[in-house]
Each structure stands twice: as C-alpha cells, then as structure tokens.
Amino acid sequence: MYTHALVTKKLRAAVAGANGYAGMTAVHLLARHPGVELTQLTSRSYAGKPYSQVFPLLDLKGSFVPEPAPDGVEVIFSCLPHNVGATRVESWLEAGVRVVDMSADFRLREPSEYPKWYRQPHPVPALLEQAVFGLPELHEPELRGARLVAVPGCYSTASILALAPAVSAGLVGSDIVVDAKSGVSGAGRSLGLGVQFSEVNESLGAYAIEGHRHLAEIVQELSGLASPHPALRADLPTGWGGGLTFVPHLVPMTRGILATCYFDLKGSVGELQDAYREFYAGQPFARVVDKTPATKLTTHSNLCLVNVGAQGRKAVVTAALDNLLKGASGQGIECFNIAFGFDRTTALTGALQWP
C-alpha cells in the first residue's frame, strides 16, 4: 500500500466526466494533491478542446478525450451520470485500475433495489459485493485498500451523519423524519427547467414526496448500525426499527445541504449529546457543534457540522455540509486518501471557489 511519507512517484489519475460539477470539483482537489498526477480528463461534450476551457485558473496542459483509457492510470474518478458508468467500471477494474465512483451505480448492496430506485436492473450486479460505501466515518477500515469505492449521495451523507450516533447507541425511540434542503448545484450542471434561475429564484419547494432515491442509502446504512452484522459491529445495541420519512427541498442557493432530523428520544439529551461526541471523536471532517449550523459555515469545505438538541422528548438533530465537497467529490478524495494510504485530510484543508 502507498503511504504519504514514502511516496516517491505520483499516482496517475483520470477523471471521467470532468466538466460536471462533481468532476470539476474533483479536478480542482486532485490538481493540488501532492501524491497525484492528473493524466486524463474526459468529457464527450468537450472532447478535443483544451483543459483551459473548463479550468482557466489551473495550470493543466492537455485536451479532453471522450473516454478514459485505463492504460497508464492507477485510479479513475468516475463522475459519469447514473446508469452510464457501471459497465465501464467493470472493464476498468479488469484492467487493474482502482475506481472511485461518484454516481449511484454501486451504493446499494442489493441488486433488487436498483429497478425500484433507478428504473432498470443493475448491469453488473456481481460488482456490488466489491464496492465499499464511501462514508469514512462508518467504513474507514473497509476503505483501506479498496478497489471500488461508491461515494454516497449528498443528502444521504448529511442524513446518515446526522443520525448514525443516535441509531448505533440505541437512543432512537420512534420512526425518524428527515427534512432536508439542498442548493441548486446538487442537481448537476446540465440544463433543466426545474433548475433555471427564473424557476428557483425566490422560491422554495419540496419534491420527490413519494421517496427520493437517497432514502435507500440512508435506510441501508442506518439499518446496518441498528442491526449490525456480527462480524462487523456486534457491540452495537439494537434500537431504531427502520421507519424513516425523508423529504428533500430545493433552495435558491448555489451549494449546501441542511438536514433536520426528528425522532422520539430514549434517554436524556445529555446522553444523546455524549453519544455524538464519542462517535465523532477524532474524526477530521465530522464535528459536533453547540449551535445549529448554517450551510454557509461549511461552504467550500469538507466539513459536516452536527448539532444535537431536543424539544421536550423529541430529539432535533441538524447537519450541514457542502454538497459538492463532503457531499460528493471532497468525500471521494477523502476515500481515495484512505484507500491509497495518504493522510485522510490531504488536499482537503483549503477552500475551493467554483462553482
């Protein structure tokens, strides 16, 4: 395994789908990573055009190619749309390349869940067993040396981090309600009526009331904490029963996620706060704060800020993060650092300004 202190040769990396928001963010982070050499950036719409057309402030030499070639690279960051990159990932892995996937193609462990949430069977279900869910606060040991990392969604990252300590400690006494809000960049860079300025400006609305696809990730991970696999987390008590309502909202801001979570509290508020502080002790990017966090506190950072409070016997836990960093590419780089033996914070401590 590579270690940050012993690296004498930079890892050669490619970013597939480098002109979308997740891809652009990944490129900006990797360009300042001391252990990485960016050797390929791919984009069908920008194929043949110089990198400077998308990254005018970065000193990157070369032109976009339509598809990544696994020859000559050691890791590919796949920022391709859902249901597009899965079959490509199979060939990359067969070529010996390790993959950090930013789409939803490998986040769910059960193949039967994909037709329900993504309207088609999974094209390579055998790979689901290899994929490691890329949430370091829960899966750091499995991420070490991982060949395929499935970076979770922005809503699911905020919601899971807001709820994991309570669920794992058995302090949830009812079904959970998650009220979550996202900036417009969470919808991606492609044009669409629902994200045009005149549609979202001075407006706030809920959507996917029947069930957002990130709900499946949240339930999967929290269920694993409530009823742990004996070989993994047998020490965790059984608490939460699995009922969860998740309602997302689109907010007229560029970036940010705020998840406010409600459940009946077992035990005292002090016990709940202690459980969160213990769960996140030593974690570089999950921080328990005394005041309810605003999204601006996390903007352009890889932090998730969590506050624990209550109204009577109803716990109220809020979590804020930047949807393009801790909610996407920042977390992808964090997982990459763990997988390849770099310090977990490498390239993640300075702010990014775009978009």
CA–CA separation, 245 and 250 (whole Å): 17
CA–CA separation, 279 and 258 (whole Å): 20
Contact at 8 Å (CB) between 248 and 180? yes
Q: Catalytic: which of 79, 154, 304, 335?
A: 154
The two tokens of residue 8 are 């004498």
Helix, strand, coil content of the chain in percent (nearest 5): 35, 20, 45
- Angle at Cα 303 formed by Cα 300 and Cα 307, nearest 5°? 125
CA–CA separation, 147 and 69 (whole Å): 17
Count of residues for the chain? 355
Q: Which residues contact 276 (CB under 8 A, 6 or more apart)?
A: 165, 166, 288, 306, 308, 317
Q: Which residues contact 186 (CB under 8 A, 6 or more apart)?
A: 154, 155, 255, 257, 323, 327
Alpha-carbon distances, residue 192 vs 70, 197, 216 (angstroms):
32, 10, 25
Active site residue 154: yes
The two tokens of residue 95 are 């070529």
Contact at 8 Å (CB) between 306 and 76? no
Enzyme catalytic residues? 154
